[in-house]
Amino acid sequence: MGVMRVGRFLVVEDDPDVARALQRIVRRHGQVVVVGTASEADALLADASSWSGMFLDVRLPDGSGLDVLRRARKAHPLTRAMVLTGVLEADAINVVHDLRGEYVVKPVATDRIERFSRQAASFSWRLENVAGTWAHRYGLSDAEENVLVRAAAGESRVAIADARGSSALTVKTQIAKILRLTRDESLQAAVARLLRELSGGS
């Protein structure tokens, strides 16, 4: 993972007026990529390239923004997500919550978008910085760094293996290597220490 010096945001919105309004606000915090379909979003989110945050409309011409977010979580467990919709739906709210996103009903106040973008850009920068520091400090490979970050996001070993397209045994081996290099007693201890460092603790 490279250190993200500025934010990078994805806007998935098929209404041109809404997309332009979001872009005007979000671009103050970094690069903004705008697409109007689920398939375009899936193509951009298919790998582990860094995103600070994503804004997703629920109803898209070729699918649901909820499904885009569900698929995106495999490669982007920590990326902040805001789901935008014109309809208040209890089931959708629960799905977004389970996918660690924010559910917002349009029209969305400018200050809410501004706050979300600012916080997302800051978190991405800090996470990339700390993860990169650990990789350099302990000699972690890119794969080991990714496993550690996914664990910090709360993913299980099975989920990590699935997201990385590897076996559970491979992930187990990578975790053992991480612990050997960092000298932490367990993966949970390593994650706790990483998150303390991220939050500015010792």
Q: What is the pLDDT along the chain (202 residues), one digit of tens a residue?
A: 433 346 789 999 999 999 999 999 999 998 899 999 999 999 999 876 678 899 999 999 999 999 999 999 888 877 899 999 988 888 999 999 999 899 999 888 999 999 999 988 887 777 777 888 999 999 999 999 989 988 887 778 888 888 788 999 999 999 999 999 999 999 999 999 998 888 776 5
Predicted confidence at residue 48, as pLDDT, reads 62
Per the listing, tokens 């899936």 go with: 42
Per the listing, tokens 């970050």 go with: 149
Predicted confidence at residue 6, as pLDDT, reads 60
Return the ∠ at Cα 155 (arms to 41 and 67), rounded to 5°: 30
Report which of 156, 160, 190 is spatially closest to residue 176, judged by C-alpha positions: 190
CATH superfamily of 7-123: Response regulator (3.40.50.2300)
- Domain 139-198: CATH architecture, name and number where available: Orthogonal Bundle (1.10)
Give me the residue spans of the domains in the chain.
7-123, 139-198
The distance from CA 171 to its chain's CA centroid, rounded to whole angstroms, is 20
Name the CA dihedral angle for 166, 134, 52, 118, rounded to a multiple of 10 degrees. Answer: 160
Predicted confidence at residue 149, as pLDDT, reads 81
End-to-end CA distance of the chain: 23
Predicted confidence at residue 125, as pLDDT, reads 74
